[in-house]
Amino acid sequence: MKKIIHRTFFVWNFEKEIDWLNDMSRQGWQLCRAGFFVYEFEQGEPGEYQYQLQLLRKADPDYLAFLEETGIQVVGRCLNWIYLKKKSDGQPFEIFSDLEGVLRHLDGVMALCGVVMAVNVLPGFANLANSHLQQLSWLNLALAAVGAFGFFKLYFRRRALAARKDLHR
């Protein structure tokens, strides 16, 4: 049996999305496909798989082949995000071996939020003066604000992790 769920997660809340996917797995629903706000699940054994998400800067076939060799499957893609699953083995499913990898991943997600902010703030302010494009301008500014919100949420999370890293030196 299959189930399709439409659900929205913001990019800075990727950990909530991971938790939700793993919760679905514990309920016996295994992710078989993912896209823009659409998740397709098939019924399976509860907790059979664990899930992770990763934002790739570019699709590297060697890296994807390495993941496959280690028993990790790519079950979905959404832009540069990849949805990963592996058989549950009682160990946490971590794709970053150290804090430095986590920080680099957060940098990539912050960059994505920064791009959303940048490509919307300039047209937003530029179009404010044009009465025909004023409504579009407010949409641009709202999207820029969303990008800025995500950027700063990630920035403060990253800063706390970096401080923890410095503490352990």
How many alpha carbons fall within 13 Å on the CB side of residue 118?
6
Nearest to 128 by CA among 120, 137, 119: 137
Residue-level pLDDT at 127: 83
pLDDT tens digits for range 110-152: 999 999 999 999 889 888 887 787 888 899 999 999 999 999 9
Q: Report the relative pairing of strands 38-43 and 2-6 from DSSP bridges.
A: antiparallel
Three state DSSP letters for 24-77: HHHCCEEEEEEECCEEEEEECCCCCEEEEEEECCCCCHHHHHHHHHCCCEEEEE
Cβ atoms of 80 and 57 closer than 8 Å:
yes
CA distance 15 to 20: 9
Residue-level pLDDT at 89: 94
Reported pTM? 0.88
Q: Does the structure show a pLDDT above 90 at 60?
A: no
pLDDT tens digits for range 16-39: 999 999 999 999 999 999 999 999
pLDDT tens digits for range 61-106: 899 999 999 999 999 999 899 999 999 999 999 999 899 999 999 9
